[in-house]
A and B are shown apart, each in its own frame.
Chain A
């Protein structure tokens, strides 16, 4: 909600600066962005009472002196005769109507009405709707204006299970379905209560007689309607957060006053219906409790003074909660009021002591498994549980975000296969992934949860001179895993590539094991990998293609061998993504060592060119050629 600084400060005696008001609002918990001279407010859902100038000023009154200089019509009002029936009194326990007939329709405004439209850059509508919108901004109470001449019959308020088309005053046609709270005229919906009025009875620029409806609706009956019917409604935003049920007469008297400032009133009459008594919340004064909750030590006088300034009434050992604060019910609620006024940042820390809890070892096995897999070169993955179709025992989501993913996955393998293919498409030639997750399925109409480890791998066994030429296979993985965890049964299987859209032919090996099936032997696994000690600054990754170069060196003088290897492996260039030894052969007979290095290049900006790669390779070659006894066979 946008609120102009000038509209607030004009009613504050101390004339605080915009920054001061901003700081005060912030301390009170009213988050906002400052856009020029406008506060773009974001209120928490419990503070519907602040959705207006008056509401914010009520809160700011703990810091400033507020001018209560608004003008109200104070004369006696004639009784309005209206044919109205409330068939859902629980939903609308209080409602008032005001009928006004004016002489002439003003086309320009001055004063607060003009400031409202200019300062907030709001489009005008018609006279009565403009007043109604301003009243909502100033008081927080939405009102609805019917063209009184169009309301020619019995008006009924009712919650209806209906299915009918309704055209809003914004020319939008919606199909009402299920239960809605509505106003009916001759059995036709003319107003979706608390959300938006209808076209049929709306005011126009020619309306001279208005019927203003001012109501309290139960928030739970309004919530969700604007989203359901895709209607932007400031009224529903306020009704959903609850409005002051006792404000109707003062709001409508303010309405009359504003109308009278711009036009002469020929006739007016008013009626108010109260179907239920308003509940007044009373909370005992317990200053010690407030001090204990916050961890401070304020006097009772200060405590009650703060509450008085916020509009609470202190009476006979009790604190009476004002009717607009439906969010206050307990001592903790009052403590929050005091903490806000003091300022959360001004409350001193008090050392906390938490007794040592019981150490659980139930995640130790899972953690050891994770580190075992890290040591084997596997990367941990986390996948979304939402999938398109799965199995007959899959659980379906009632309201999926994407209708193509409306099931919870019943296995990990399918997601892992997608991960593998994603990386294959990015030229990865050695892919080893795992995921540990709960899987939910239906078994005999009951939800069954299983914690599983899923593993998938394909391509080269590794990026080093021993593993480079080996391919991952069922035999390879089974043997590698058995070597370290001989008593665990991973039961690897080979996935067919037949239905996969890929040209890669490497064997895909996977397994999926219940975590519960692992033995306690896993607990004695000695980890090699360590998690990083500090948090690494991430470098953006590239989806552009790689360029690969292999260089084979012949070494006949071994004095500089270690330095040479170090130079190549430590060589840094922004285009060089990875370098490793893929081949090593010590020909003792010929007194020659051959080392093959693979260089993988990639740019983050654009597809890498031959020339860019050649430039980097030239630097490496030039440097290595300077070392005695090292050559590149075949290099001209």
Chain B
């Protein structure tokens, strides 16, 4: 039997905290996109109608601009951005092509249920250069989705509609249960948007995409109720170390 004078105390296990799973997912996606060549740009969460809608070819009549979809503030002087696209508009106004930006952060829409919240997170990207094509957009989307979900994942492109892209697509992946799940929206930047940003649309074209972080995090972690992310329950957060 050894003497207890020689015994070291047990390993002191220090409590370590965890990143919020949404921020961790956002950071992971943004790091991936930076590794593809994208540059990170930031912008305000309080936006003008001009940057959030007008510059993105979202017409005055578009339902998204209605009071039941968008949070307006200070007597409609400004609004809480409904997507991170205005950041890209600001980026395009500042720089000349070729350019490749990503922006990530909080966005706001008037929704509240098990799969939608009034505040959620997006990462969006834009690449503008000469002769950017839909076929190249597909290549980029495949690379993003393969990096996130592995190369065995099956995906499909569906025609869709966004005022700021044309052609537009939504991309689904096939779940283990055999159900198609929407993952992201994308398309070629509408030439009207390029012209709004003083970019010659005869010379340049662009691609854009946007991912909902909560949606990806729910899939990756197997979470079915989006509200779990924002209860701040330590038992929940403790799982993401």
Contacts and interface: CB of A to CB of B under 8 A. Distances in A.
Nearest to A223: B61
B178 interface: no
Given A363-B40, A536-B221, A558-B4, A380 B18 contact: yes
A580 B20 CA distance: 24
Interface stretch (A199-207, A271-279, A583-591): A583-591
A345 interface: yes
B17 A385 contact: no
A376 B73 contact: no
A347 B110 CA distance: 36
B179 interface: no
A619 interface: no
Given A348-B135, A380-B18, A536-B240, A558 B2 contact: yes
Interface string B29-42: 00000101111101
Contact of A449 (B46, B68, B220, B232): B46
A219 B139 contact: no
A565 B76 CA distance: 63
A18 B159 CA distance: 20
A192 interface: no
Contacts of A359: 34, 39
Nearest to A562: B10
Nearest to B76: A398
B223 interface: yes
A382 interface: yes
Contacts of A423: 232-234
Nearest to B125: A354
Interface string B222-241: 11000011111111111111
A380 to B, nearest CB: 4
Interface residues on A, range: 35 or more
Contacts of B139: 349-352
Contact of A29 (B16, B46, B127, B160): B160
Nearest to B241: A532
Interface string B127-139: 1000101111111
B156 interface: yes
B124 to A, nearest CB: 15
Contact of A336 (B19, B166, B241): B166
A588 B5 contact: yes
B18 A355 contact: no
Interface in A347-378: 347-352, 354-360, 362-363, 367, 370, 373-378
B100 interface: yes
A482 B59 CA distance: 54
Given A373-B17, A377-B16, A296 B233 contact: no
A339 interface: yes
B17 A355 contact: no
Given A349-B142, A398-B73, A384 B133 contact: no
Interface string A211-228: 000000001100110010
A27 B205 CA distance: 25
A380 B23 contact: yes
A577 B236 CA distance: 12
B140 interface: yes
Contacts of B16: 374-375, 377, 528-529
B17 A395 contact: no
Contacts of A536: 221, 239-240
B39 A426 contact: no
Contacts of B158: 26, 29, 31, 344
Interface residues of B, number: 103
Contacts of A47: 161
A467 B15 CA distance: 10
Contact of A431 (B118, B133, B234): B234
A467 B72 CA distance: 48
The secondary structure that dominates the B interface is mixed
Given A379-B234, A538-B239, A465 B12 contact: yes
A610 interface: no
Interface string B59-97: 111110011100111111010100000000000000000
A193 interface: no
Given A45-B63, A466-B12, A399 B160 contact: no
Interface string A525-568: 00011011001111101100000000000000111010001000
Interface string A375-416: 111111111111000000001111111000000100000000
A224 B19 contact: no
Interface stretch (A106-114, A136-144, A157-165, A327-335): A327-335
A99 interface: no
Contacts of B5: 588
Contacts of B131: 292
B157 interface: yes
Interface in A6-31: 26-29, 31
Contact of B232 (A383, A396, A397, A532): A383
B60 A220 contact: yes
A592 interface: yes
B38 A354 contact: yes
B17 A377 contact: yes
B114 interface: no
B52 to A, nearest CB: 14
A355 B136 contact: no
A51 interface: no
B176 interface: no
Given A292-B205, A438-B44, 18 more contacts: A29-B160, A332-B166, A332-B190, A339-B159, A340-B167, A357-B39, A377-B15, A380-B237, A432-B17, A447-B78, A532-B240, A532-B241, A536-B239, A537-B222, A558-B1, A586-B9, A588-B5, A593-B4
5 contacts: A529-B17, A529-B241, A536-B221, A538-B239, A581-B10
Interface of A: 26-29, 31, 44-47, 219-220, 223-224, 227, 240, 292-296, 330-333, 335-336, 339-340, 344-345, 347-352, 354-360, 362-363, 367, 370, 373-386, 395-401, 408, 419, 422-423, 426, 428, 430-434, 438, 440, 442, 447, 449, 462-467, 528-529, 531-532, 535-539, 541-542, 557-559, 561, 565, 577, 580-581, 584, 586-588, 591-593, 595, 629
Closest 8 CB pairs of A and B: A295-B135, A29-B159, A357-B39, A295-B133, A354-B37, A44-B161, A336-B167, A220-B61
